[in-house]
Amino acid sequence: MKNLRWFDKFLFLLNSLFAVALLFTYLLPYIPPDTFALLAVMSLTVPLLIIINAIFLIYWILRLKKQLLLPLAVLLLGFNHVTSIYEFSAPEEEEVLNGGLSILSYNIRQFNQFKWSEDKSIPEKVTSFIAEEDPDILGMQEYYVGELDVALGFPHKFIKQKKSSAEFGLAVFSKFPIINSGSLDFDTSSNNNAIFADIVVKTDTIRIINVHLQSFTIKPNMDKIQKEESKRVFLGMGQTFVKQQEQLEKVLGLYHESPYRTVILGDFNNTAYSYIYRKVRSEGFNDAYKEEGNGFGRTFDFKFFPLRIDYIFPEESIETLSFETYDVPYSDHFPVKASLKL
């Protein structure tokens, strides 16, 4: 420190604060939100903290200063967190891409029924996108029940609205027979739920669980988090995480009761640095993006840093052959697709 200029000393102090903050967030996946709800909110800051520490690392490298060891050590300790933002995988061979069971998950934001976008052709564009990708199984969240064109390529389907009067809900479309299906309503939410479909794939049967966990009443937008309302925002976010914890326990019940191997997919409204994510992984599920993804895993349109809240979780006995995230502007979410070997 003695050989540092005053400006570098100040930067190293800042670096130390951000490094400690990032280290602390590594503990958050092990703390249930219902024990300390506000702590869970900090998991949303992990991508930003990783990026800041990476910038400090680059700065110290360029300056040829030993202070680079601090951000380097912190980033290496959280390597799994780092690769949840950006994954390095080799390009898949053509025969791998064309093999396996393809599953696509997409929160479609009601096909723009509430005019969040000025593009009136979004339903047609989504239908064309699905037809072009041609998945074997399609799971949709916020599916508007009036848009049936997207289902034309699928002879089997299960659609469930949260309420009988609701216009949107969850859907599973399949090229293979659905022999059993059901839904799970969350008492703590008026708009979120989960469904399952048992699907016979050739000589095997799998259970697909399509999930839409508790949404944020206020989206995580920096413009909203202003001084005069920050307390209300963070309190609301904390309660959202508590509700998600309760909902996930019910979702995992569908898995525990299943006689078949299971794939859980959908919009979890939470990051890979959360208790929710770790809980799913600890039950014996892989993250298809972590297995075979490549590049940024962003699935939500958040302009400040990459935010990944949509997942495909196959059981560990199911091999992930490939994974892709699509940067298409038809929703505030981006679709994800995995090819699986049963």
Half-sphere exposure of 97 (CA within 13 A, CB side): 9
What pLDDT digit, counting tens, does each position of 111-120 carry? 888 788 888 8
Question: Which among 98, 105, 109 is positioned nearest to 168, based on CA atoms?
Answer: 109
pTM of the model: 0.91
The answer to whether 261 and 318 have CB atoms below 8 angstroms apart is yes
Structure tokens given for 240: 């959202």
Does 35 have pLDDT greater than 50?
yes
Average pLDDT over residues 170-178: 98
Query: For the ranges 80-84, 97-101, 105-109, which has the lowest average pLDDT?
Result: 97-101
Average pLDDT over residues 115-133: 90
Q: CA–CA distance from 60 to each of 66, 74, 77, 82, 95 (Å)?
A: 7, 14, 18, 19, 44
Q: Please list the residues that pair with 179 across neighbouring strands.
A: none
Residue 64, phi-psi category: left (phi > 0), alpha (psi -120 to 50), beta (remainder): left
Q: Is 287 helix (H, G, I), strand (E, B) or coil?
A: coil
Helix or strand (DSSP H, E) at 76: helix 69-77
DSSP 110-148: GGGTT-SSS-TTHHHHHHHHHHHH--SEEEEEEEETT--
Structure tokens given for 96: 């791998």
Instruction: Report the mean per-residue pLDDT for the chain.
Output: 90
How far apart, in whole angstroms, are the C-alpha atoms of residue 178 and residue 24?
45
Q: Is 328 helix (H, G, I), strand (E, B) or coil?
A: coil
Does 212 have pLDDT greater than 80?
yes
Question: Which among 311, 304, 335, 324 is positioned nearest to 46, based on CA atoms?
Answer: 304
Position 2 scores a pLDDT of: 63
Structure tokens given for 218: 């206020």
Position 95 scores a pLDDT of: 45
Average pLDDT over residues 87-97: 59
The answer to whether 123 and 147 have CB atoms below 8 angstroms apart is yes
Position 86 scores a pLDDT of: 83
Position 85 scores a pLDDT of: 82
Q: Is 204 helix (H, G, I), strand (E, B) or coil?
A: strand
Helix or strand (DSSP H, E) at 276: helix 275-282
For tokens 């997207």, the residue is 150
Structure tokens given for 188: 């703590």
The answer to whether 205 and 177 have CB atoms below 8 angstroms apart is no
What is residue 258's DSSP assignment? -
Q: CA–CA distance from 124 to each of 55, 136, 140, 227, 327 (Å)?
A: 42, 20, 16, 42, 17
Average pLDDT over residues 3-28: 94
Average pLDDT over residues 141-148: 83
Architecture of domain 94-341: 4-Layer Sandwich (3.60)
Angle between helices 230-256 and 275-282 in degrees, nearest 10: 10
Position 224 scores a pLDDT of: 52
Position 228 scores a pLDDT of: 43
